């Protein structure tokens, strides 16, 4: 037996991305894979780093771990059949994506939504935002080495999930909005649970402040780390708390009002430092803002239908045309573009997800930081991977 003269795999050994990334590397540096197993990447995101000792010289996020082709799936399904996908694009703020899809198709077809349904949408979406920020808070601190806060966050999350289960039937990947309203009306039990949650949270937020926010170790890890100036944030198209942490008061709920958000009184939380602490504080402030919006919506909840009596049913054909609709998710601006050719299946769907733009920042702001700071910066961007890989 003789071996072939040339190995057919020659030149293909090793990892493609690492080899391409290593081409520009200095001889005295180390190429380090941060993830997909590293806890601070939450499993699926991988970042290639070129390290000089403890310092990051270059950073390159590598995408494509959970590619699911949501946009292509939309072009193979009836409009209403695409709803369950929305809960999977961002599993932490699924209702915002539900709203983005429902709102886009409603705008395309000129569908009317009853006032009560709009209020229910606001309540559910804000509760879901609180849920998302609580999970981020716990997981971020876990990345930074604090184990107990996630237990406290999950205690409060549990209450929100119980409430949302009452109206959506699910606990994470919600699929409860429909064209022209929402699937289920809210009942007296939901309202009473919601009010007791609103009464409980100020004390809990105070406890969070005592436990972590004022902590000298946390401040040492976050203050002055990963500074994103306003122009850099704008250049990369960052949105949400990342942009507002850099001093830009852009919030889709205020800038391009949708639903009935213009009827609620709340301030858009903004911080000007641009560092990890600023992004942290924006999210903590947003928890309070969302609680305030939910309280106002509960107080003003009107009577009426939770779904329009003439709402389209089953597979239906919206008129031909194209439309863009944006909502404010927990991570930033969620956009849905739909082109319809008048059939029961969308001709083209494009999703604009905030995590993709926010992650793109990392390659620039990660340069020159310590490895431990890179973990803090990556966490402060609050990434949800299916949004990036959609």
**Contact set with another protein (CB under 8 A):** 77-78, 80-85, 87-88, 148, 152, 155, 158, 162, 165-170, 173, 175-176, 178, 183-185, 207, 210-212, 214-217, 306-307, 309, 311, 313-315
Q: Rank residues 5 and 216 by Cβ distance to another protein and give the closer one.
A: 216
- Written in H, E and C, the secondary structure of the chain is CCCCCCCCCCCCCCCHHHHHHHCCCCCCCEEEEECCCCHHHCCCCEEEEEEECCEEEEEEEECCCCCCCHHHHHCCCCHHHHHHHHHHHCCCCHHHHHHHHHHHHHHHHCCCCCHHHHHHHHHHHHHHHHHHHHHHHHHHHHHCCCCCHHHHHHHHHHHHHHHHHHHHCCCCCCCCEECCEECCCCCHHHHHHHHHHHHHHHHHHHHHHHHHHCCHHHHHHHCCCCCCCHHHHHHCCCCCHHHHCCCCCCCHHHHCCCCCHHHCCCCCCCCCCCCHHHHHHHHHHHHHHHHHHHHHHHHCCCCCCCECCCCCCCCCCCCCEEEEEEEECCCCEEEEEEEECCCCCCCEEEEECHHHHHHHCHHHHCCCCEHHHHHHHHHHCCCCHHHHHC
To another protein, the closest distance from the beta carbon of 162 in angstroms equals: 7
Which CB atom, from 212 or from 349, has the smaller least distance to another protein? 212
Rounded-to-integer distance, Cα 243 and Cα 229, Å: 9
Question: What's the min distance (Å) between Cβ of 217 and another protein?
Answer: 8
With contact defined as beta carbons under 8 Å apart, do 252 and 259 qualify? no
Task: Annotate 13-43 with b (16+ C-beta within 10 A) or e (fewer).
Answer: eeeeebeebeeebeeebebbbbbbebebbbe
Taking the complex as a whole, how short is the minimal distance between the CB of residue 311 and another protein, in angstroms? 6
**Closest to another protein by CB, 59 or 141:** 141
Of 183 and 295, which CB lies nearer to another protein in the complex structure?
183
Residue placing its CB nearer to another protein in the complex, 223 or 256: 223
The residue (of 140 and 356) whose beta carbon lies closer to another protein is 140
Spatial separation of the C-alpha atoms in residues 288 and 198, rounded to whole Å = 10
Which C-beta is closer to another protein: that of 183 or that of 198? 183
Q: How far apart are CA 292 and CA 266, in angstroms?
A: 7
In whole angstroms, the minimum distance from the beta carbon of 175 to another protein comes to 4
The answer to whether the beta carbons of residues 74 and 105 sit under 8 Å apart is no
Q: Residue 35's closest CA among 363, 280, 375?
A: 375
Looking at beta carbons only, is 181 or 354 nearer to another protein?
181
Which of 1, 188 has the CB closer to another protein? 188
Nearer to another protein, 185 or 263 (CB): 185
Give min distance, CB of 163 to another protein, in A. 10
């Amino acid at each position: 037996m003789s071996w072939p003269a040339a190995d057919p795999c020659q030149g293909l050994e090793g990892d493609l991305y690492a080899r391409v990334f290593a081409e520009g590397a200095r001889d005295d540096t180390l190429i380090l894979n941060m993830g997909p197993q590293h806890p601070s990447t939450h499993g699926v995101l991988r970042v290639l780093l070129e390290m000089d000792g403890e310092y990051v010289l270059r950073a390159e996020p590598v995408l494509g771990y959970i590619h699911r082709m949501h946009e292509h799936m939309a072009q193979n399904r009836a409009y209403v059949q695409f709803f369950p996908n929305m809960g999977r694009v961002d599993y932490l703020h699924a209702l915002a994506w539900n709203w983005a899809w429902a709102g886009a198709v409603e705008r395309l077809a000129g569908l009317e939504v009853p006032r009560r349904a709009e209020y229910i949408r606001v309540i559910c979406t804000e509760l879901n935002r609180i849920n998302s920020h609580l999970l981020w808070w716990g997981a971020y601190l876990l990345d930074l080495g604090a184990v107990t806060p996630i237990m406290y966050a999950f205690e409060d999350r549990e209450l929100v999930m119980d409430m949302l289960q009452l109206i959506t039937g699910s606990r994470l990947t919600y699929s409860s909005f429909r064209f022209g309203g929402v699937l289920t009306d809210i009942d007296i039990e939901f309202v009473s649970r919601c009010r007791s949650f609103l009464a409980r949270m100020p004390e809990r937020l105070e406890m969070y402040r005592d436990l972590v926010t004022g902590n000298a170790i946390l401040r040492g890890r976050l203050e002055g780390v990963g500074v994103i100036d306003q122009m850099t944030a704008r250049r990369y198209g960052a949105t949400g708390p990342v942009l507002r942490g850099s001093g830009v008061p852009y919030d889709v709920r205020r800038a391009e009002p949708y639903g009935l958000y213009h009827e609620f009184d709340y301030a858009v939380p903004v911080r000007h430092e641009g560092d990890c602490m600023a992004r942290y504080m924006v999210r903590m402030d947003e928890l309070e803002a969302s609680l305030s919006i939910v309280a106002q919506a509960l107080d003003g909840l009107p009577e009426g239908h939770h779904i329009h009596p003439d709402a389209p049913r089953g597979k239906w054909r919206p008129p031909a045309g194209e439309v863009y609709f944006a909502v404010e998710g927990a991570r930033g601006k969620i956009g849905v573009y739909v082109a319809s050719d008048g059939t029961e299946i969308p001709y083209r769907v494009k999703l604009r997800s905030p995590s993709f733009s926010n992650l793109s920042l990392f390659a620039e702001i990660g340069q020159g930081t310590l490895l431990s700071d890179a973990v803090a910066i990556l966490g402060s961007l609050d990434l949800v991977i299916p949004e990036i890989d959609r």
